[in-house]
Copies of this chain bind each other. A is one copy, B any other.
Amino acid sequence: MYLTRALHRSLQQQPDEVVTIFRGRHRTYSEFCDRVARLAGALQALGMKSGDRVGILALNSDRYLECAMAAWWGGGVLNPVNVRWSVAEVVYSLDDCDTNILVIDDQFLPMAEGIRANAKRALSLIHAGDGDAPVDMLSFEQLIAEARPVPDAQRGGEDLAIVMYTGGTTGYPKGVMQTHGTLWTGCIQRMADTPPLHGGKVLHTNPFFHIASMSRVLNHFLAGEVHVIMPSFEPREMLETIEREHITELALVPTMIQMLISHPDFDKYDLGSVRRLGYGASAISAAVLEQTMERLPGVEFSHSYGLTESMIVTTNPPENHGPTARAQGLHLSAGRAGIGVELRIVDADGDEVPRGTVGEVVVRSAGVTPGYWNLSEDTARSLRDGWLHTGDGAYMDQHGYLFIVDRIKDMIVSGGENVYSAEVENVVGRHPAVAMNAVIGVPHSKWGEAVHAVVVLKSGMQATEDEIRAHCREHIAAYKCPKTVEFRQALPLSGAGKVLKRDLRVPHWDGKSREVK
């Protein structure tokens, strides 16, 4: 159970097959492994010892995957940096993680000086780009050219493999640890559910610093397939790439799916090679699904739900995306517990609730994190008796299908009724004048909490509080409708683009206690 084992297997079976394609550059397994073994040597020469972290701040590329594999090959730990963060956030995470080697690509060179100046530790910066490295940085390519290949350190099992930072909506980012064993097992049990397409060619567009994308990377390495890599999501480039490279498998979030299928040039491209489309982050609406299935006939859709802390938990398989399943609403489920995964919905005491009742999703699996980096209290709060408490509110139906309703802490209890902010936000968002909105609970003398909507209007559009409330009453029960509506120019967002609801709550709750279930 060590992640580089996949490379050894491919070297034995298909050394001359292509493993990565990035902007026209093809690498075979034997080239890739040679580069990995050399880069690992270079990292060791820079001082990387067993278990030391190597950071990477870069858009997706073939070099990103070489860097990840080289860190592991050399005995180190990968610390992928969130590419949406500010200098201060990047520095916070590098300091927190004691990372002192950072690989950085051209896109982020402008942040380099700020990062170096503010980081507590002296950083070795490695420039991963095609041109010359800046004078004060090492060159990724030169390191590879000059280093001697080292043997695979073969760290594995409970050895740490990766520290990924999440959060930002609830305080400081936390470093989620995954070991070789948890990553490997999380991937392999997912593959037992959703087997590799033999001869598959996957297109990576989601950022590699996310577990969703990184775990797909590992799946496809385990299966010995071809990785076609785009620096980031861009619909036209994606359409072109699918056609040119005969891509078999895509992974997207519903918003991207919509952007792709509604692209004006969609019909100009031959996308007939695509056999699978995996999506996540949220459920997909019946309308988008229907439209996508029409435009991409023969493609299998599946929805996966998971956390950085857990790897994939549930999968809603292709058969729940057809017309019959859609009529039953099954396409809105996140799916059922995968092979090897235990899943429960529990109340505040940790007891399982009856089917159909909303509670917190808890998970136990060999893919669950051993904890947060240097945060034993957060670890103890999240992991109890081996069960990861996800903070997600959901119910389960009679057949074990999971339906996510809200983050537990965003649920509102008004007059004894549960109100799911996500549901109300969906309705408020359908008002034609609303650009963005967030729904929170605010203290109320009679109802305990009252539903409160914070709304940003579309530029040049108007709507009153009464109009928003009237719109809501057309679609949802009265107790779910906002009692009050507040208009703002913008919502406070985290680095990852999530609304910072705690900032919205502060003025209402300051000095009062809000019990988070």
Contacts and interface: CB of A to CB of B under 8 A. Distances in A.
Nearest to A355: B12
A92 to B, nearest CB: 35
Nearest to A11: B400
A337 interface: yes
Task: Name which of A185, A341, A399 has the most chain B CB atoms within 10 A of its CB.
Answer: A185
B400 A337 contact: no
A399 B223 contact: no
A240 B27 CA distance: 53
A189 B340 CA distance: 12
Interface in A138-197: 184-185, 188-189, 191-196
Interface stretch (A1-9, A52-60, A459-467): A1-9
Contact of A400 (B12, B184, B193): B12
Contacts of A337: 9, 12-13
Nearest to A344: B12
A336 interface: yes
A123 B400 CA distance: 42
- Copies of this chain present in the complex amount to 2
B185 A223 contact: no
A340 B12 contact: no
A5 B342 contact: yes
Interface in A8-63: 8-9, 12-14
Given A1-B340, A192-B192, A195-B195, A400 B13 contact: yes
Contacts of A196: 192
Nearest to A190: B192
Interface string A319-348: 100000000000000001101111100000
Nearest to A341: B9
A440 interface: no
Interface residue tally on A, bucketed by range? 20 to 34
A399 B15 CA distance: 9
A386 to B, nearest CB: 9
Contacts of A340: 1, 5, 184, 188, 222
A1 B222 CA distance: 20
A395 to B, nearest CB: 13
Nearest to A317: B198
Contacts of A396: 12
A219 to B, nearest CB: 9
A222 B192 contact: yes
A196 B337 CA distance: 16
Nearest to A193: B195
A366 interface: yes
A243 B8 CA distance: 44
A396 B9 CA distance: 13
Task: Name which of A12, A196, A336, A399 has the most chain B CB atoms within 10 A of its CB.
Answer: A12
A340 B10 CA distance: 11
Contacts of A192: 188, 191-192, 195-196, 222-223
Contacts of A188: 185, 188-189, 192, 339-340
B189 A13 contact: no
A10 to B, nearest CB: 9
11 contacts: A1-B185, A5-B342, A6-B339, A12-B337, A13-B399, A13-B400, A188-B192, A192-B192, A192-B196, A192-B222, A194-B195
Interface of A: 1, 5-6, 8-9, 12-14, 184-185, 188-189, 191-196, 198, 222-223, 317, 319, 336-337, 339-343, 366, 396, 399-400
Given A9-B400, A192-B222, A198-B319, 6 more contacts: A6-B339, A9-B339, A13-B336, A14-B400, A184-B340, A188-B188
